[in-house]
Amino acid sequence: DIVMTQSPDSLAVSLGERATINCKSSQTILFDSNDKNYLAWYQQKPGQPPKLLIYWASTRDSGVPDRFSGSGSGTDFTLTISSLQGEDVAVYYCQQYYNTPYTFGQGTKLEIK
Amino acid sequence: QVHLVQSGAEVKEPGSSVKLSCKSSGGAFNSLAFSWVRQAPGQGLEWMGGIIPMLGTTSYTQNFQGTVNITADESTSTTYMELSGLRAEDTAIYYCVYDNSGYLKSWGQGSLVTVSS
């Protein structure tokens, strides 16, 4: 199974500042034939199901604010929130779908400083 | 937009089984794929398995091989997840998800299963 490791486990950022979450896979999740990274990011607020933010490592889902961006390739990926808003307080997960079983990172808890 | 509505909370005794349902709307059911993901209290996300109704194929993670059975009923646009041999550690929220080529596009509201004697 592909192991996904996020860092940090928790993060406190001031409103309006940048937040960066990292995700590393134990093997490449870049499929050579289509040059796509099989990585998604989710946001989960308390008491709610997760919400898809980003897929193919850098494509924002419909309705996701453009302050959210994804980058990286191969085994190293980053979710960036360019200017933190209060409603961004949540746990963030990365997930690989390069093969089954799909696997998630352990989550990063984002709080306001 | 695919919308998923799951069945309600369940309380089960150890050793018993639970069968959860997930009704889909807003998409051509037979062309979709679905996954089930569980989340234990205060913990992260764990993919259990999935189904492609059109192909009739299922895939399960090794942790759940032999204990989970995922099925689909095209006539009612509903998928089901049955978990047998319940243990206290199976207490969790179980999510049904629209699986779009691997990324999990739309999530049901979740079904809480509590295993307790």
Q: B102 and chain A: CB distance < 8 Å anywhere? A: yes
> What is the structure's pLDDT at A85?
97
Q: What gap in Å lies between CA B39 and CA B63, rounded to an integer?
A: 14
Q: A92 and chain B: CB distance < 8 Å anywhere? A: no
pLDDT, tens only, B20-68: 999 999 988 888 999 999 999 999 999 999 999 999 899 999 988 899 9
Q: What gap in Å lies between CA B3 and CA A106, rounded to an integer?
A: 27
- Find tokens 């940048």 and name the residue: A18
What sign has the CA pseudo-torsion B102, B105, B111, B114? positive
Q: What gap in Å lies between CA B112 and CA A40, rounded to an integer?
A: 25
Contacts (Cβ under 8 Å, ≥6 apart) of A32: none
Cross-sheet strand order for the sheet of B78-83: B3-6, B18-25, B78-83, B68-73
Q: What gap in Å lies between CA B40 and CA B46, rounded to an integer?
A: 9
Best mutation site among A55, A99, A102 for testing chain B: the one with the most B CBs within 10 Å? A102
φ, ψ (nearest 5 deg) of residue A106:
-80, -10
Residues in chain A closer than 8 A to B22 (CB atoms):
none
A101 prior amide bond cis, ω within 30: yes
Residue type (1 letter), B60:
Y
The per-residue b/e assignment along A69-85, b for 16 or more CB within 10 angstroms, e otherwise, is bbebeebebbbebeebe
User: Cα distance from B24 to chain A (closest Cα, Å)?
Assistant: 16
pLDDT, tens only, B57-113: 999 999 888 999 999 999 999 999 999 999 999 999 999 999 999 999 999 999 999
Nearest residue in A to B104, CA atom: A52
Helix (H) or strand (E) holding A71: strand A68-73
Q: What gap in Å lies between CA B65 and CA B49, rounded to an integer?
A: 9
Structure tokens at A55: 């897929």
Task: Identify which of A50, A106, A107 has the shortest CB distance to residue B107.
Answer: A50
- Find tokens 């860092």 and name the residue: A7
pLDDT, tens only, A32-59: 999 999 999 999 999 999 999 999 999 9
